[in-house]
Amino acid sequence: MIDDVMLNTEERMEGAINNLKREFSKVRTGRANPSMLEQVQVDYYGVPTPVTQVGNIAVPEPNQLLIKPYDRNIVKEIEKAILAANLGVTPSNEGDQVRIVLPKLNEERRRTLVKDVKKLAEEARVAIRNVRRDANDAIKKLEKGGDLTEDDSKGYQEDVQELTDMFIERVAKEFDEKEKDLLSL
């Protein structure tokens, strides 16, 4: 029973870290990264399909993405989907492929992106703390139910706190890496 609580706690905290990484990958750093297109859905024969599944995405230059669809008939659909995704980029249709040129980020925009990233990191910390609270509540419930002694309960709560500290540290590390990436020219 307590093993399930601890395992669930660790899985949920890991999920918060994975979500943070996914959100960070959406933040544009001035360098082309195919992951910024992961959320873009193309209408492919009436079915919303991720752009990553309808074509090959290449990075020919550090500030460009090139999408070569497997089916040349959907180039216009890919172009529409990228515009609709509101990524702050303008795709250019080249007949059988779509090219995206990422504009250079100015200093002010970089600072704004750092603030946004900081907010995302804080949201991840809050999510991890909420998982800690839920785990501690579950441990206390087990203690009240007689499944755990008071000493065991305190020990498990300390374990949850150590786990929380470890994941909060991982959030700080992820934030530092992204901040450094955003501020480097």
Strand pairing report for 91-93 and 64-69: unpaired
Q: Identify the sign of the CA torsion 26, 68, 56, 74.
A: positive
pLDDT at 90: 84
Listed residues 101, 136, 155: the one ending a domain:
101
Examine the domain organization and report whether 114 and 68 are in the same domain.
no
Give CA separation, 95 vs 24, 120, 182, 185, in Å. 32, 38, 33, 33
- Position 163 confidence tier, pLDDT thresholds 50, 70, 90: very high
Q: What is the pLDDT of residues 58-112, one digit of tens each?
A: 988 888 899 999 988 888 999 888 888 877 788 888 888 999 988 777 888 888 8
Whole-angstrom Cα Rg for the chain: 22
| Cα–Cα dist 29/24, whole Å | 10
Mean pLDDT of the chain: 88
Question: Domain containing 84 — which CATH number?
Answer: 3.30.1360.40
pLDDT at 33 over 90: no
pLDDT at 185: 59
List all residues 6 or more positions away from 5 whose beta carbon is below 8 Å from its beta carbon: 135, 138, 139, 142, 156
Examine the domain organization and report whether 56 and 85 are in the same domain.
yes
Which has more confidence, 87 or 122? 122
**DSSP of 135-152, one letter per residue?**
HHHHHHHHHHTTSS-HHH
Examine the domain organization and report whether 79 and 129 are in the same domain.
no
Question: Where in the sequence is the domain holding 50, given as residue range(s)?
Answer: 34-101
Task: Let me know: does 113 contact 131? Beta carbons within 8 Å.
Answer: no
Structural domains of the chain, count: 2
pTM of the model: 0.71
Examine the domain organization and report whether 113 and 143 are in the same domain.
yes
Share of the chain above pLDDT 90, in %: 40
Task: Let me know: does 128 contact 170? Beta carbons within 8 Å.
Answer: no
pLDDT at 45 over 70: yes
Examine the domain organization and report whether 113 and 165 are in the same domain.
yes
